[in-house]
Every structure is written in C-alpha cells, then in structure tokens.
C-alpha cells in the first residue's frame, strides 16, 4: 500500500506507519456503531409527527395538533410524547456506566456486539408495539444499545487510527451517525404517506437493520492493540499493530503502548483516579465538551425538525422533506471535518463552527420572533419560511464540521489508558443526560420561551466558543499516549501536570501522590 509516513509533531515521539487497507476496513466497519445512534436520532422526530402514531398512543396531542387556532409554539407540548423520545437517552446514560467495564475487560468489540444485540431486541418491541408500555420498553432497550456503542466505538477508532489521521478516522463515527439520521428521515418521508399504522411500524422496526450490521461487524472486527495489551495478549497486540500500521518497525509505538498498559495496571480505581489533580484537564473536558455539544441546540433540529417546520406552517410532507434536506447538508458538511481536522486542527474548526452557529441562531430567533411575535399567532410567507430553512442549514453546517464530530473525537483522544474507559463513560453519560434534557424539555421550552429559545442556545454557543479558545490546547497529530506534553505546555492546565508526568508513567505518579 501507499508509502510510509512518520508523524511530525514537535515535542512528541514519531511513529512509523503506512496507510493499510486493513486499518481502513476495520475503521469503516467500526464506524457502523454510529448508525444505530443516528437511525434513532432521525426516526423519532418524524414518527412523533405522524398522525396514526399520535392517534394510537397520544390521542390528546393529536387532538391538540388538529386544533389550528391554538398558540403555534405550544402545538406539540406534551411530556408523555417527549418521554417517548427522551427515555432512550436515560437508558443510554445508565448503560454507558457499566459498558465501560465491559469495554475494558472484554475488549471494545464485544461492547459493540452487545450494543447491536440489545438494539435489535428493542427495534422488535417498537415495531410490534401494542401499547405505550411496549413502546417505552423498546426505547429503553434501544438506549442500552446506544450506550454500549457510543462507549466503545469512538475509543476503538481512536486506538486503531494512526496518530496523524486519528481525527479523520474518528470522524467516521459522526459520518455514520448522520448517515443513520438521513436514512431515517428518508424512510420517514415514505412511511408517513402510508395509510394506517403500518408506516410508523416500518420506521421503528427497520432499526433492526443497522443493529444487525453492527452485530456482524463486531464479530469480524479485530480488537485494538491497546485493548489486547490491556488484557494480557502482548504477542497478538504486536502482530496486530504491525498489520494495521503496514510495517514491522513498530517497536517505538508498541513500547509506548506496553508502558501505558503497565502504568494503567497499577491504577486500581480508574473512577477514583480520574479525580486526582493530574487528570483535572481530562475530567473537565469530558464533562464540558458533551455538555456544550448538546447546548448548541442541535437536537432541537435533529429530533424536532419536522415538528418545528410544521410549527412554522409547513405541511406534514414539506416538513419531512425539509428535515431530509437539513440531514443531507449535515452529512456533506461532516466530510469537511474529515478532510480538515488533522490539517487545520480541532481548535480552528471549533471556533469557526461556533461563530457560524451563533450568527445563524440569532437570525433564526429574530425572524421567528418578528413573524410569530410573543403570542405565537400569525402566518409566515413562503419566502420567509424558505429563508428560515436556509438559515437552519447554515447552522447545521457549522455544527457538522465542529461540535458534531469533535464532541466525540476530543474526549476519546485526550485520556491516558488508565482513565480512558472511565473518561469515555463520563463523556457518553453527560452527553446522553443533556440529550435527554433537550429532548424532554424542548417542546415545553418552545411553548414558554418562544423564539427566545434560539437566543438561549446562542448564549451557550458564546460560552463554549470562549471556553475552547481559552481552555482547549491543540491535540492534532499527538499520539494518545503522549498527550501529557500538550497539557503540560498549556497556560492553565500546565499547573496540574507534575513535571515528571511528561516522562513518567501513571504508576510512578500514583506512588508519588500517596
């Protein structure tokens, strides 16, 4: 395969590697893990705007929706309806906590397999649902699946990828998420036109397809060298490293992995350890990055775009079509990140994307405010409605090359092995918690905060952009096990990293700190 590379980052070690087909194929399959998450994100919004579905399970909301004279902002406000969407994320939150142990003890691939399996069972419950209980049990099972997959896939991709291309490979997860969303919106578009209950059943039931894809994918995937070493299979790990890096000269990288593993074995309590001062940057980042990612307000669009478009006066079909368009834009724009993240770095994308989202959110809020006012009555012309859709696309594009992929990439690449599973579990559970909150509260917030809701999210975009500017050092091209040097050089985080930590391992550090 293609010629060899040596990573060129000053101050950090350089490893040899070639881009092998094997690393591409395994990461491609690994990224399937994003499909189940994406399919679900995309399917719920459309299903909750389908009349037969509402009639069957939420007759009260259906009646309210039919009542055209009511306040537009409050058309869909129902806690039970939002519980349908959000229950999944509570389950994902809980499962990601114990998925971290499975990921560490049995390897990344078995976590993915389990994720696919529970998701599969959940899709059957939903597709055949006869009552709300079946619907909710299905959602919870799907949530368990998502928790397992989101815990293991980003770590899998970051560990498999050569350091210089880690950003691009890891972004495959986000590409798969958005692909799942787009496929779901296309399916919804067609099933919404079917008569009776068959449409929503197909939409929910087809979740079994990405589930089967991950299960099969997980069975054929090799485990990462890091995970093999962590579980005591050093010989296999070295062979794996040689085959994915396309060269026999992997001694330096292999030694770093062995050292990292030795150090991590001395650490008995990853959960307690992550609270030590020397891991403060990782702890803060793995809490704040997912929190901010959700406070961009992206899931207002992901879950409720069809509902939002109906609120804006679009017909049901036009709403689903517009949701499809925003999804396709998001997918295309995610590739901008894939191709630039390792060249321009994480910070540039975060900052540029933040500013773009901010401007478009303010414009959307202002336009809706002018058209519907505080009372939420009035009509919006075709031209204005199209302009709002265009602004939403600009906003989604900004998210697609910044907080979307980087919200998963950065937390998965900044933690040393001894705290990696715990850090990723925090990342997933914080993300799921705020996904749940936004999903649960959005329709009520829209009803009460009206167009001000867009300014509310814009405020957080300002905060997160300042946060990145001041607190996140650039991590592009830095091998994961060498990340301490980056923190040490940072104006703020440097004080938490003892000088020796840059060269010394966790075990020695821990002995020093007791």
3-state SS, residue 4: strand
What are the counts of helices (DSSP H) followed by strands (DSSP E) for the chain? Answer: 24, 2
> Measuring CA to CA, how many Å separate 383 from each of 121, 309, 439?
45, 14, 29
Q: Are 439 and 82 in contact (CB under 8 A)?
A: yes
Determine the Cα–Cα distance for residues 13 and 7; give it in Å rounded to an integer.
8
By CB under 6 A, name the one of 44, 302, 402, 510 that touches ligand BGC: 302
Centroid of chain to Cα 59: 33
Residue among 19 and 428 whose Cβ is closer to ligand BGC:
428
* Interface positions, 90-149, toward ligand BGC (CB under 6 A): none
Return the number of the residue (143 or 407) whose C-beta is nearest ligand BGC: 407
Q: How far is the CB of 24 from ligand BGC (least distance, A)?
A: 22
Q: Which residues 6+ apart lie within 8 Å of 84 measured at CB?
A: 44, 48, 57, 58, 135, 136, 139
Nearer to ligand BGC, 210 or 479 (CB): 210
The reply on whether position 360 binds ligand BGC by CB under 6 A is no
Q: Which is nearer to ligand BGC, 99 or 250 (CB)?
A: 99
Interactions with ligand BGC, residue window 408-447 (CB under 6 A)? 408, 431, 435
- CA-based nearest residue to 285, from 447, 467, 77, 433: 467
Give the DSSP letter string of 106-143. H-HHHHHHHHHHHHHHHHHHHHT--SHHHHHHHHHHHH
Q: Please report how close the Cβ of residue 333 comes to ligand BGC at its closest, in angstroms.
A: 11
Which one, 152 or 264, has the nearer CB to ligand BGC?
Answer: 152
Q: Does 402 bind ligand BGC (CB under 6 A)?
A: no
Region from 159-167, 295-303, 383-391, 468-476 binding ligand BGC, contact rule CB under 6 A = 295-303
Of 26-55, binders to ligand BGC (CB under 6 A) are 41
Q: Are 175 and 408 in contact (CB under 8 A)?
A: no
What are 5's strand-pairing partners? 17
Give the x-and-dash track for 141-180 against ligand BGC (CB under 6 A): ---------------------------------x--xx--
Minimum CB distance to ligand BGC, residue 47 (Å): 16
Which one among 30, 45, 122, 404 touches ligand BGC, defined by CB under 6 A? Answer: 404
Which of 298, 324, 368, 453 touches ligand BGC by CB under 6 A?
Answer: 298
Instruction: Select the span of 357-365, 404-412, 471-479, 493-501 touching ligand BGC (CB under 6 A).
Output: 404-412
- Count of residues engaged in binding ligand BGC, rule: CB under 6 A: 14
CA distance 323 to 314: 11
CA angle centred on 153, ends 405 and 29, rounded to 5°:
100
* 407 touching ligand BGC, by CB under 6 A: yes
Least CB distance from residue 403 to ligand BGC, whole Å?
7
Find the residue with minimal CB distance to ligand BGC.
302
Count of CA atoms in the C-beta half-sphere (13 A) of 86: 21
Candidates 82, 86, 152, 299: give the one binding ligand BGC (CB under 6 A): 299
Burial of 255 (0-12, 13-18, 19+ CB in 10 A): exposed
> 145 or 313: whose CB is closer to ligand BGC?
145
Residues that bind ligand BGC (CB under 6 A): 41, 174, 177-178, 181, 293, 298-299, 302, 404, 407-408, 431, 435
């Amino acid at each position: 395969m293609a010629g060899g590379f040596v990573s060129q980052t000053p101050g950090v070690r350089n490893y040899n590697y070639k881009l092998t087909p094997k690393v591409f194929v395994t990461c491609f399959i690994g990224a399937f893990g994003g499909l189940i998450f994406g399919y679900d994100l995309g399917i719920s919004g459309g299903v909750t705007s389908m009349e037969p579905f509402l009639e069957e399970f939420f007759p009260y909301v259906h009646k309210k929706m039919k009542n055209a004279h009511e306040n537009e902002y409050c058309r869909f406000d129902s806690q039970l309806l939002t519980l349908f969407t959000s229950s999944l994320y509570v389950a994902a939150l809980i499962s990601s906590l114990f998925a971290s142990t499975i990921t560490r003890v049995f390897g990344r691939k078995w976590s993915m397999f389990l994720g696919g399996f529970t998701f599969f069972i959940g899709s059957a419950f939903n597709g055949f649902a006869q009552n709300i209980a079946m619907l909710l049990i299905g959602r919870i099972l799907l949530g368990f699946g998502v928790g397992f997959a989101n815990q293991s896939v980003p770590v899998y991709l970051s560990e498999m990828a050569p350091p210089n291309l880690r950003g691009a490979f890891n972004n495959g997860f986000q590409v798969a998420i958005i692909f799942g969303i787009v496929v779901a919106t296309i399916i919804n578009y067609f099933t919404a036109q079917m008569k009776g209950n068959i449409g929503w059943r197909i939409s929910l039931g087809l979740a079994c397809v990405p589930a089967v894809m991950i299960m099969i994918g997980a069975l054929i995937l090799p485990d990462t060298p890091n995970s093999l070493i962590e579980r005591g299979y050093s010989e296999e790990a070295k062979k794996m490293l040689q085959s994915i890096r396309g060269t026999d000269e992997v001694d330096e990288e292999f030694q770093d992995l062995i050292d990292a593993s030795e150090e991590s074995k001395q650490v008995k309590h990853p959960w307690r350890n992550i609270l030590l001062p020397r891991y403060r940057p990782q702890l803060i980042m793995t809490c704040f990055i997912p929190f901010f990612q959700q406070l961009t307000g992206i899931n207002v669009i992901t879950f409720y775009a069809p509902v939002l478009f109906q609120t804006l006066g679009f017909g049901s079909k036009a709403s689903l079509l517009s949701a499809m368009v925003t999804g396709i834009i998001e997918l295309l724009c995610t590739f901008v990140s894939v191709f630039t993240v390792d060249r321009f770095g994480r910070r540039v994308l975060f900052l540029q994307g933040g500013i773009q989202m901010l401007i478009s959110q303010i414009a959307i809020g202002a336009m809706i405010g002018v058209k519907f006012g505080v009372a939420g009555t009035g009509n919006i012309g075709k031209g204005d409605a199209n302009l709002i859709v265009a602004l939403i696309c600009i906003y989604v594009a900004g998210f697609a090359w910044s907080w979307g992929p980087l919200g998963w990439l950065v937390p998965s690449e900044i933690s040393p092995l001894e705290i990696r599973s715990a850090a990723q579990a925090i990342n997933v559970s914080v993300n799921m918690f705020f996904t749940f909150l936004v999903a649960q509260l959005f329709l009520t917030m829209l009803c009460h905060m009206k167009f001000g809701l867009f300014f509310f999210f814009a405020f957080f975009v300002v905060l997160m952009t300042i946060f990145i500017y001041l607190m996140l050092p650039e991590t592009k091209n830095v091998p994961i096990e060498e990340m301490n040097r980056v923190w040490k050089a940072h104006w703020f985080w440097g004080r938490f990293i003892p000088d020796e930590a840059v060269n010394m391992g966790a075990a020695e550090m821990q002995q020093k700190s007791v």
